[in-house]
Chain A
Amino acid sequence: MRRRTAGARGPAPADSPSLFDEEDATSVYADVGDEFPGASPASAIAVSTLTQIMKDVVEGAFVPLWVRGEVSDFKAHRNGHWYFCLRDQASQLKCVVWSRDQLRMPAAPDDGMQVTALGQLGVYAARGEMQLTIRQLEAEGDGLWRKALERTRLRLERDGLLAADRKRELPRFPRRIAVVTSASGAALRDIEAVVRRRAPGVELVVVHAAVQGENAPLELCAAMDRVARWGGADLVIIGRGGGSREDLWAFNDERVARAVAACAVPTISAVGHEVDITLCDLVADLRAPTPSAAAETAVASRMELALELGALRARLVGAIETCLYEPQQRASSAARALSRAVSGRLTQRQASVAALAGRLNALSPLATLERGYAVASGADGATRSSIRDFAPGERFNLRVRDGDVDATTVAVRPLDAPR
């Protein structure tokens, strides 16, 4: 290898032909003459002509290619385009992403990211530089998707939309469930099957939106808006069946997430399969792993309701029986007390009657008569207990134990008088 003396900047193979080799220049232009553009100072071509030719040659020679490299010197220009270099250990290549192509990319790359880019090699004439115009960009390990998701998540978090205390309780027995999904999708069929089986009397109202593709975010937002303006639902399920990450991406759209967060009635998000977690899931009041699971959570089954009603019925009956038991107990114990009181008094009265009777008996002359005494009484009924009460020849009554005797006084004499 040898250095050229004519001022060429880079190394070149020793035997490659060059316009600047004096001896070869004449031979190259021998056939066309000095008038050929660029063949002589007189026919020198303009820079813009040359770069235009360069552009045509390069762009004609390369079809769009996937190129692998590391991002460096990334710059998002005010004009909306992204500029950066793709490089490896030996080389670098200027790259541009026009703003309209950025819509298909989840996020801008960062310096140091390993990416693969699909682009068209061309020439930026104003600088005379070769550049790759990139249409698609993928970072190693889903880097761009993760970055986009994380950035949006942080914004939602900063606005408090992910806070646990925002989560509302779902209605236990919703009457009308709005289902924001594709009217022809698998998610709707799954939800419908579960609801028919579990919860009769529940109305499903489908609010159609594309769930994938470029229009999906706006259609999902519009559907949430219709649900809000309609105001007829007491629960909203938003979701779709499984799909690729790109298919599910609309549910990571910040506008969709914000629309779900702003929903006036409780929301269940059910996007894809168990492993797929979207921003929509994070802002909804409940995340269900699948649309079927969303439906199962949304509507209580007939069986559950029947069991609950049975339990409540038993408690109700038990409670009223308890309520009735105590007054019954009170009543019967009152009755017992009353009867105790009454019978107690009776006994007492009986005892006093007996005592009285005893006393009466003791006072009664009948008892004395029992012992053989007799009581004399006059016609006036007054007891005659002294000889002074008797006059000879006078009749009187003599009461003995078992009857009366008519008697007549023969004579009277004092106790100490001789007979």
Chain B
Amino acid sequence: MTIEQSLARLDAIVEQLESEPLELAAALALFEEGVACLREAAGTLSEAEARVQRLTELADGAFDVEPLDDE
């Protein structure tokens, strides 16, 4: 799931919990799913450095993405 999807799902879960009267078991299941989404999205915050690469087209029309030489 992308972070966008995680956030969207999380948003939907919160909305649903806030607006609809739910069976307790269903509410708890949603809550757990929400916590999982939070954790996943928060994982992005600790990800590594940004990478800068260069797109090169190979002779056969395929593409290669390789680190960009700064000089």
CB <8 Å contact, B18 and A306 = no
CB <8 Å contact, A230 and B54 = no
Q: Which residues of B contact A232 (CB under 8 A)?
A: 55, 63, 65
**In the complex, which of the residues B51, B54, B65 has the most CB atoms of chain A within 10 Å of its own CB atom?**
B51
CB <8 Å contact, A320 and B50 = no
Interface band, chain B:
35 or more
Task: Give bound CA distance, A315 to B18, whole Å.
Answer: 8
Residues 316 to 348 of chain A near chain B (Cβ within 8 Å): 316, 318-320, 322-324, 326-327
Stretch at the interface among A47-55, A119-127, A156-164, A171-179: A171-179
Q: Does A403 reach chain B (CB closer than 8 Å)?
A: no
Q: Does A85 reach chain B (CB closer than 8 Å)?
A: no
Q: Which of B11, B44, B51 contacts A203 (CB 8 A)?
A: B51
Q: Does A369 reach chain B (CB closer than 8 Å)?
A: no
Interface residues, chain A, CB within 8 Å of chain B?
171-173, 175, 178, 183, 192, 195-196, 199-208, 226-227, 229-230, 232, 302, 305-306, 308-309, 312-313, 315-316, 318-320, 322-324, 326-327
Between A and B, 22 residue pairs with Cβ closer than 8 Å are A172-B7, A173-B2, A173-B44, A175-B2, A204-B52, A204-B53, A205-B54, A205-B65, A206-B53, A227-B55, A230-B63, A305-B3, A306-B45, A309-B38, A312-B11, A312-B14, A316-B14, A319-B31, A320-B17, A323-B17, A323-B27, A324-B27
Interface residues, chain B, CB within 8 Å of chain A?
2-4, 7, 10-11, 13-14, 17-18, 21-22, 24, 27-28, 31, 34-35, 38, 41-42, 44-45, 47-55, 57, 61, 63, 65, 68
Known: A173-B3, A229-B61, A306-B45. 13 other contacts (CB 8 A): A173-B4, A183-B68, A200-B48, A201-B47, A201-B48, A202-B50, A204-B51, A207-B54, A207-B55, A319-B31, A320-B28, A320-B31, A324-B27
